[in-house]
Every structure is written in structure tokens, then in C-alpha cells.
Amino acid sequence: MESFGHPEDGLHDATPWYDWGPYLSERAWGTVREDYSADGTAWDYFPHDHARSRAYRWGEDGMAGVSDVGQRLCMALALWNGRDPILKERMFGLTGPQGNHGEDVKEYWWFLDALPSHAWMRWRYHYPQAEFPYADLVAENGRRDQTQPEYELMDTGVFDDDRYWVVDVAYAKADPNDVLMEVSITNAGPEPATLHVLPQLWFRNTWSWDVGAERPSLRGAAADRVAVSHPMFGELSWELDAGPDGALPEVLFCENDTNLARLYGSDASPAYPKDGINDHVVTGAPTVNPAREGTKAAGWYRLTVAPGETQVVRVRLRSPSSSPAFGTEFDEVLATRRGEADEFYGEVIPGDVDDDARLVARQAFAGMIWGKQFYRYDVKRWLDGDPAQPAPPPQRRGGRNAGWLNVDARDILSMPDPWEYPWFAAWDMAFHTVALAHVDPAFAKYQLLVLCREWFQHPNGALPAYEWAFSDANPPVHAWAALHVWDIDGRRDNDFLGRLLPKLLMNFTWWVNRMDPEGDHLFSGGFLGLDNISAIDRSHLPAGGRLEQADGTSWMAFYSLTLLEMARILAEEDDRWTDIEVKFIEHFVLIVDAMHSQGLWDQEDGFFYDVFHASDGTTVPIKVRSIVGVLPLMGMVVLGPELLKTLETLQKRFAGFLGQDAPGAPEEDHGRVVPVPDLDAVAIGVIPPREVRRVLARVFDESEFLSPHGLRALSKSYEANPLWVDLAGMHVSVGYEPAESRTGMFGGNSNWRGPVWMPVNYLVLRNLQRYARSLGATAEIEYPTGSGHTQSLALCADDLRERLISLFRRGTDGRRPCNGWVAKLQDDPRWRDNIAFSEYFHGDNGAGLGASHQTGWTGLVADLICRPDPFAGRPWEL
């Protein structure tokens, strides 16, 4: 299997086509890695206003950017409309404290196409011709409170009369280390206008942190060529074509070094600092090196474009060559790679998928591929500081991530969102791999393996949650994702499962030891990725209290079953894994017994709830009907004849659970098991089969969970009648909030109080399909609840799948629900087919909300389109 990372040299031993890729983030400012403050205020310590002037320590950012696999050399795009106070070198957005609903990017761009080899990639951006309203966006969002919607760039009027630029960037590779970049500029406005287009090339600053570190160089070798010299990969040539008017661009040089004078008033500032090109273009300042050398360069094109006209700029990065850089060969490479992409997706996306769903899937896959990012973070070095820099404040020793000295990452990772979340998150990454496996299974496998490597997984077995707090707990979905990746890749790479399973056994043990403090098989875990779903902050409980979580415990039942299935697959080749199968059946049984006997299951309501134990010994069920109580549907498994025989032979305590020790007991005592029609197998679950209908009656109720576009995270019944809970002296409420959150808990832009979230919808859907396969065609249920219409569970699952896909497809009215209520996004041909795969979706109308490029887990829609039902075989085989 190919490898995609190493603690010393990043991506290695993989195909050379991965040497260059979209590894440049859309945002590096405001991240934890770049935060050297005493109090961990990352947004304030490194704001957007510093980004153009301050050298990054750990990773670079840019627009439509690519880099080598170690992010030593970067290439991206800068623009200037002649009115902005700064070059447009990176996307702008509000920080968490600035936004009335948390951090939020205020730009419009899309990932339109990509091959997993990065031999072909397309990106699009809409750039206003008027001055970009930086101050207005900050001020107006600052005036709004959490009951008001976000103030978006479209609301400012800068796109009125279509006065904007359509900027298309296409990358193609002639060979693994010959990268072609074509920038197409279209004037969408009614009048001729001028745009400054500046392709940029620069080195990540690796020389300012160690005494005596070697500095690479860029040097003007000719009017249209820059010589690139770096000790790691030798000599390259960056070549710039003549512009549409036949004139060569002016090539500008500066250093990727901090402008100490601007930021800190220091006299020791370099003459040509990182923002030297910016200042020279915008103000004419003498801040570019007349000697035509440095560590950052740009080609300055000035394009005057008629209304509706498109003009093109071309650059190329390759080994020095005497052959022409541009002309017929350049055109042929672009056409060939585009054709290869069409052929590739013609095979990946099934032939019976209609054109619009095909467009959705292809853009979702493109977002997944563009989401591959270089991730560098050495926690020990970050805490200690660099020899050539001032020492960090001592308070950091007891602050964020201080207990994770083992983390020393230099990898290509799949990011949740390249602007809002430009860092890995463990459970996000697991979902990413299911979509990625269709186009790049080796990379998908590496994503699951890498977090279990010694430079990520803690010695105690914990997996790092995400950069802001490695020690938080994310839902344990790695084993589940591994099974789906294994399935999509042809069910053949058992070595992959064998490498992963021992590390996951360590992680499971960590969960048992750390998240079950009472030893009663009921688990906590804090917010567990569901942020503000509860009446209280589940990560910061009232003093002396503890919370037993229906979802935390369900996740552990689910984890037991997925580890069981991994062991079952491996046991087919090595029967030593049979003991692990039995171990996880036991764990599952103990957890399910505890959930039912200790109060998480409410027999009267037919639903699961969290239970709070106060310091005075009182117990309070938190009866919020939310996705927390739906997630137990994940905990179902079919036991085939071989494992059943083993269990019968052992006669362990789970025999009673299976109904084997009480043949005369009434149905309510051992109705947890149901025979699978036509197979020598039984289905068991967290929710006894006889109770599944009661839970699904709520799930399929359009006045509760079932929306036109998937399942809501919270019952809609709380819209008119919010739930009030008395807890530890507090009187708190939970109300249905279908769009942006009205609470600041967890930053406010991660609302679980009503919207549709793709990852949990996906999990519930796939397990409904499993139930349908296991219980047979006779398992019918009213759908939707109250309609009087009954149908098979399989058809219910099919309809739920279609509802989720419909978030992105054009409906009969021609509108894509994800584009919301904005007319230009819905109706304008230049906008309507550019799809944003948002973080979550309005619980009533499906409008995209939250992070606008979270193709990561929302990219699961591509799997739903390409793989309608993965349980077509025997249901215990996945």
C-alpha cells in the first residue's frame, strides 16, 4: 500500500504524481499552530491584518494554491481590482469573536474538478470589481446579535449589476513535476474593467527559526523566467507567458520574511518583506528588490477586459528545459488531462446516475481532493519555541495540547474545511475517507492509519480530536470508516484492517478506562462532536455532577460492533482473531444491558436520553428528543452461523441476552434477537427489534425529525413548545433552531438544535438499510408517521437517501435547496451550478449553513450517489 506521510519527510514512497498537489491551505492565520500567546487567543494573536506581512511558522496559505508535498515551494494566485487597500492573496472572513454566529468566511469560491493524482484540477472565484467591503462586513456583523442572520458579502451590494470577475484556475501536469497553471478572467459586468492578475511563487519560511538555516532562492533568469533553487529538490524553472496584449508581465521579488517595521515598529525590518509585492502594486512603494531575487515572486499582469470577454494568463513550473513552455503543447496537455478526468469519473460514477446528480458527485469529489492539505505541527517544538526566536510565554506549558508532546506531524491530511477548519479533526476525517475511497483508496486508508501512528496517537491510546483541543473526545468512528473503505476498495485489503485493528484496540481500552469512570458500562465523553445539542454544556458540567450519555454509550456499543466485524473478517484467514470477536460481543452485551437497566432507555417514551447525576445523589433524565436518542439505531449487528456456534459453545453470560438460557421466558425478556429471514443468522441491537418501530415513529414524523431534506438534529416539536429542564439549580430550555444557532456555546456556528447534518444522517441511513436487509421485505412501517401509508423499511431508507441528495440537486422548480433563498445563487447561470457543500443545512428548507466549504463530511453525498446500498450481500459482511 502506498504511504502518504512520515514524521521526517512528509509524503513518501507514493507515486510521484503526488509530489505536487493542492496542499496549500486557504487559511493559516488564526490557527493554533501560529498562536504563541500566553492565553491561547489564536484569532487575536495572528489576525487577518497580519497575514500579508508576517511569515508563518508552520504552514502557508493562498488562493487556488498548490505546493510540493513538503510545502517547501508554493504557487498560488493574487488579484487586485485597483480599488482594494490590499492585494487579494487569501480569503477573508470573520473570526469567532467577530461573527454573530462564530467564524465565517465572506467570499465565494468553489472547487469544480480534480483528479486524485492532481494532474487536473479546476477552481473558481467571484471577485468584486468594487472595493472589497472588509470594514463593512466586520462592523455590520458586530452590530447584529445571535437572533439575526449573518451579514454576507452578497448583502453588501458589491455584486449588484454583475460588477464582478469570474476567475477560473485550471492546473494540469505534463508529467509529475511539470505543473501548468491557466488563469481565465471573465468580466461579468456591463462595462470594460481592469484587473491586476499576479500568479505568485514563494518558499515557505524554513530559515527564520534555526540559527544558520539555509535560505533558498528565486532569481530572475530572464524577463519571463524565474530560476528556482532549493537544497531539497534542486533547480526548477518558473515561466510566465506573455499576456493577452502580447506584453510580458513585470516580475516582482521580495522575501517571505516578516515586516517587523509595520507590525512591531522595529528598525531591523527587511527592506523587501513579505508584503513588499502588495505594497508596491497597491501604493507604488519601493518594496520589491530591484536585483530581481528573493524568496517570493509574482508576475504582474494588467488585463483590461470588455464586458463578457475572457482573457487568459498562463504560467508553468518545471525542470529547466529548452522546449517551448507555451503554445500548442500547453493546450494539448490541458485538453488531455480534462479528457482523462471525464473518463475517470465516467467509471467512478455509475452510468445510471443522471446528469445533475453526476455534477453534484463530481464537485463533491473535487472538494474532497482539494481538501488534501500539508499539516506540520511539532507540539514539543511549538511549546519550547525556536532557537532563533524569543521564548514563548511560560503559561503555555500548562495550556492547550501541552500533554501531547508525541505529536510531530508532517503529513498530507484531509481537512474538514480549508478556511474555517484548516486542521484535521478525527471523526471528520473518518467520514472523509468513505467518499475518498471511491477516487483515492490508498489515500483514504492512510488517513485512517496515520492518526493511529506514534506521531499522532497518544501513548495512552487516545486519538487526537482536533487542533484546538487534542484531548477532547470525538466519536469513535475509525473502525466503521475502515470497514466502508475496505468495502469500497473491493473487500480485498485485509492487511489494511490488520494494521489498524491493534491500534484501535488500544483506543477502545482508553475509552473504557477514561470515559466510564463508574465502571457501569455507561459512557460520557463531553460534547462528542454534537456541540450545543443538549440543555447544558456537556463538556463543562455543574460542580460535582456527572453525565451518562445516550450517544456516548451508543458510540461505544457501535465501536464494539465495528471492531467485532473487523475481527470477523480477519478471523476468516487467522482464527486467532476469534477471541477478539467474542470479546466485543461481550462488550456490546454489557453496554446494551446497562443502557436498558440503568435508565438511559425510557420505556414510556420509547426513546433514549442522557441522565444527569447531581452531587446530592439525585438523578435527572434530560428528556431532549434529539439525534442523541436516534443514534442507538447504529448499534445493530447480524450474527452469522459460525459466530453463533462459537457463542453457543462458550455459554458465556451473553447467552441470556441472546435468549438461549430461558427458552420459556416471555417475549419481552428476550426479544432483543430476531431471526434473519432466509438465513441461518440473527439480528441483535441496542434497540430491541420490537422497539425499533417506536423509535422510527418519531424519526419518520415530519413534525419531529423528518425534514424534506433529511433528519433534523432536534425535534421540530420544540419550535412551538421549547423544552424546559430543571438541573442542579438551573432552569434551562432547549428550543428548535433550524438555522444559525442562537446560543454562543461552542462558538455559535455549529448548531445541533435543529439543522440537518450529513454525517449523522449518513450513519442512521446506512443502518436503516442494514435493518431492512436483516429484517426482510415484510418489515413495513408507516412512512411518514401519521400519513396512513405503510411501506418496507428498505423503501423508507431509499426515500431518506433521496432527501439527502436533494439538498444539492435542482428540484422541479429549478432551485437547489443548498443555495438557500439568494436569487443570484439560484437563478444566475454563472452561480447556480457552482455547489457549496456546507457544514449543515436549514432544518426546514435545506439552505446551506455553517462552514461553506466543509466538503469533507458533507462530501458523503458523493458516496450516497455512487453507492445506493452497500448491504446488498449478506448483512454481516459489512
**pLDDT above 90 (res 531):** no
pLDDT tens profile 251-274: 999 999 999 999 999 999 999 999
- The confidence score (pLDDT) of residue 253 equals 98
State how far the Cα of 35 lies from the Cα of 30, in Å rounded to an integer. Answer: 7
Output the CA angle 822-824-828, nearest 5 degrees: 145
**pLDDT above 70 (res 671):** no
Write the secondary structure of 321-368 as one string of H (helix), E (strand) and C (coil): CCCCCCCHHHHHHHHHHHHHHHHHHHHHCCCCCCHHHHHHHHHHHHHH
CA-based nearest residue to 87, from 122, 134, 25: 134
Contact partners, residue 630, CB within 8 Å, separation at least 6: 695, 698, 699, 705, 711, 760, 764
pLDDT tens profile 398-411: 999 999 999 999 99
Residue 866 grid coordinates:
455512487
State mean pLDDT over 39-57.
97
CA-based nearest residue to 770, from 703, 707, 686: 686
In contact, 705 and 699? CB cutoff 8 Å: yes
In contact, 521 and 590? CB cutoff 8 Å: yes
The one-character DSSP state at 117 is T
- Backbone φ and ψ for 252, nearest 5 degrees, come out as -110, 145
pTM comes to 0.96
State how far the Cα of 77 lies from the Cα of 799, in Å rounded to an integer. Answer: 43
State how far the Cα of 60 lies from the Cα of 600, in Å rounded to an integer. Answer: 47
pLDDT tens profile 418-459: 999 999 999 999 999 999 999 999 999 999 999 999 999 999
Residue found by looking up cell 508584503 in the block:
275
State how far the Cα of 560 lies from the Cα of 570, in Å rounded to an integer. Answer: 15
**pLDDT above 80 (res 777):** no
Q: Provide the pLDDT confidence category of residue 683 given band limits of 50, 70 and 90.
A: confident
In contact, 112 and 160? CB cutoff 8 Å: no
Q: Provide the pLDDT confidence category of residue 673 given band limits of 50, 70 and 90.
A: confident
- The confidence score (pLDDT) of residue 3 equals 44
Q: What is the CA radius of gyration of the chain?
A: 28
**CA–centroid distance for 288 within its chain:** 38
Q: Provide the pLDDT confidence category of residue 536 given band limits of 50, 70 and 90.
A: confident
784: preceding bond cis by omega (within 30 degrees): yes
State mean pLDDT over 145-153.
93
Which element (helix H / strand E) includes 68? Answer: strand 63-68
- The confidence score (pLDDT) of residue 873 equals 66
- The confidence score (pLDDT) of residue 859 equals 97
State mean pLDDT over 468-486.
96
CA-based nearest residue to 209, from 387, 375, 56: 387
Helix ranges restricted to H, 680-837: 689-699, 758-775, 793-805, 823-827
State how far the Cα of 644 lies from the Cα of 593, in Å rounded to an integer. Answer: 19
Q: Which of 514-528, 531-545, 839-853 has the lowest mean pLDDT?
A: 531-545
* Buried/exposed 13-37: b ≥16 CB within 10 Å, e otherwise: ebeebbbbbbbbbbbbbbbbbbbbe
- The confidence score (pLDDT) of residue 655 equals 58
Across the chain, what does the average pLDDT equal? 92
CA-based nearest residue to 217, from 105, 161, 293, 133: 293
* Buried/exposed 441-456: b ≥16 CB within 10 Å, e otherwise: bbbbbbbbbbbbbebb
- The confidence score (pLDDT) of residue 626 equals 95
Helix ranges restricted to H, 121-255: 134-143
**pLDDT above 80 (res 679):** no
- The confidence score (pLDDT) of residue 640 equals 80
- The confidence score (pLDDT) of residue 654 equals 56
pLDDT tens profile 690-716: 788 899 999 999 999 999 999 999 999
DSSP reduced 3-state for 218? strand
The one-character DSSP state at 767 is H
State mean pLDDT over 473-487.
96
- The confidence score (pLDDT) of residue 846 equals 98
Q: Provide the pLDDT confidence category of residue 817 given band limits of 50, 70 and 90.
A: very high
In contact, 400 and 383? CB cutoff 8 Å: no
State how far the Cα of 186 lies from the Cα of 394, in Å rounded to an integer. Answer: 52
Contact partners, residue 637, CB within 8 Å, separation at least 6: 561, 564, 565, 588, 683, 684, 685, 876
C-alpha atoms less than 13 angstroms from C-alpha of 137 in its C-beta half-sphere: 20
Q: Cα-Cα-Cα-Cα dihedral of 337, 343, 347, 349, to 10°?
A: 80
In contact, 392 and 380? CB cutoff 8 Å: no
Highest mean pLDDT among 146-155, 542-551, 680-689: 146-155
> pLDDT higher for 658 or 699?
699
CB atoms within 10 A of CB 539: 17
C-alpha atoms less than 13 angstroms from C-alpha of 421 in its C-beta half-sphere: 30
The one-character DSSP state at 213 is P
> pLDDT higher for 592 or 242?
242
Q: Which residues pair with 611 in a beta bridge?
A: 548, 621
CA-based nearest residue to 33, from 535, 377, 492, 477: 377
Q: Provide the pLDDT confidence category of residue 649 given band limits of 50, 70 and 90.
A: low
pLDDT tens profile 741-772: 887 776 667 899 999 999 999 999 999 998 88
State mean pLDDT over 717-724.
94
- The confidence score (pLDDT) of residue 656 equals 60
**pLDDT above 50 (res 667):** no
Q: Which residues pair with 33 in a beta bridge?
A: none
**pLDDT above 80 (res 677):** no
- The confidence score (pLDDT) of residue 271 equals 96
Is 776 exposed, middle or buried (CB count within 10 Å of its CB: 0-12, 13-18, 19+)? middle
State how far the Cα of 789 lies from the Cα of 796, in Å rounded to an integer. Answer: 11
- The confidence score (pLDDT) of residue 747 equals 65
**Percent with pLDDT over 90 in the chain:** 80
pLDDT tens profile 124-138: 999 999 999 999 999
Dihedral of alpha carbons 636, 638, 643, 648, sign: positive
Write the secondary structure of 469-515 as one string of H (helix), E (strand) and C (coil): CCCCCCCCCHHHHHHHHHHHCCCCCHHHHHHHHHHHHHHHHHHHHHC
**pLDDT above 70 (res 60):** yes
**pLDDT above 90 (res 35):** yes
**pLDDT above 90 (res 645):** no
Contact partners, residue 736, CB within 8 Å, separation at least 6: 712, 714, 715, 716, 717, 718, 719, 722, 753, 754, 843
- The confidence score (pLDDT) of residue 652 equals 56
State mean pLDDT over 321-346.
97
Is 178 exposed, middle or buried (CB count within 10 Å of its CB: 0-12, 13-18, 19+)? middle
Is 851 exposed, middle or buried (CB count within 10 Å of its CB: 0-12, 13-18, 19+)? buried
Q: Provide the pLDDT confidence category of residue 10 given band limits of 50, 70 and 90.
A: very low
* Sequence letter at residue 163: R
Q: Provide the pLDDT confidence category of residue 668 given band limits of 50, 70 and 90.
A: very low
pLDDT tens profile 175-212: 999 999 999 999 999 999 999 999 999 999 999 999 99
